[in-house]
């Protein structure tokens, strides 16, 4: 979905990565800041409505760091297999913490929160498993990480003025993430079947 804007976003991030590099920032430093911001966002969510504005700001800053560290790694030619592994691992911790914070803060019911959390983790797991089998999975599915953060941020901002918006956002994410897992599973199945026939 949002990957149609990817070229423009990557261009903007490259320019900002150059500025970050000039300041002496490294991909690992940006990744560390990103996970700290995500954990702080989770804490803000868990404390309830009084810190909702802070929670969404921290969430968006964490997402920005996630984009910047990748752009910075590519710019500095510091992309490594372990770096990619670590970045993906930290993203999963960030996602889990934020969903846990939302659940603990009482913004959604436990079943929907858990379904959205599991779906979010499995979207990334499906991609990792597919790419291990050399199946390109980028842009496959409705709810990649950028979309998930956007939906959470939009639901959070709406929740400030309209109680129950966060629950609706979590329900949407619960559906979309698990649908994305299904889309990726079907894509992997079709690709592997074609290989077998070839």
Name all domains of the chain by residue range, CATH numbers in brackets.
2-193 (1.20.120.1760)
Dig out the tokens for 92 from the structure: 């999963």
CB atoms within 10 A of CB 54: 15
| pLDDT value of residue 1 | 46
87 is catalytic: no
Burial classification of residue 185, based on how many CB atoms lie within 10 Å of its CB (0-12 exposed, 13-18 middle, 19 or more buried): middle
Calculate mean pLDDT across residues 101-123: 97
Alpha-carbon distances, residue 184 vs 39, 52, 122, 142, 191 (angstroms)? 28, 33, 10, 10, 10
Q: Map tokens 């842009």 to a residue.
A: 139
**pLDDT for position 198:** 76
- On the question of pLDDT at 2 being above 60, the answer is no
- Tokens representing 102? 């939302």
Provide the token pair at 66.
């996630």
CA-wise closest residue to 60 among 148, 175, 123, 161: 148
Closest by CA to 147, choosing from 125, 179, 103, is 179
Residue tagged active-site, from 66, 69, 87, 91: 91
Q: Indicate the pTM of the whole model.
A: 0.90
């Amino acid at each position: 979905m949002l990957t149609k804007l990817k070229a423009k976003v990557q261009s903007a991030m490259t320019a900002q990565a150059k500025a970050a590099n000039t300041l002496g920032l490294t991909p690992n430093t940006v990744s560390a800041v990103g996970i700290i911001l995500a954990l702080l966002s989770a804490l803000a969510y868990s404390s309830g409505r009084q810190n909702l504005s802070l929670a969404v700001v921290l969430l968006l800053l964490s997402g920005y760091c996630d984009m910047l560290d990748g752009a910075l790694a590519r710019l500095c030619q510091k992309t490594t297999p372990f770096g990619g592994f670590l970045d993906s691992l930290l993203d999963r911790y960030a996602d889990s913490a934020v969903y846990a914070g939302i659940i603990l803060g009482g913004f959604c019911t436990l079943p929907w929160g858990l379904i959205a959390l599991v779906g979010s983790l499995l979207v990334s797991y499906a991609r990792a498993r597919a790419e291990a089998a050399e199946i390109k999975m980028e842009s496959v599915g409705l709810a990649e990480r950028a979309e998930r953060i956007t939906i959470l941020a939009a639901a959070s901002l709406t929740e400030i003025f309209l109680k129950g918006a966060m629950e609706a956002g979590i329900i949407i994410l619960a559906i979309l993430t698990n649908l994305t897992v299904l889309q990726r599973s079907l894509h992997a199945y079709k690709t592997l079947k074609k290989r077998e026939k070839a």
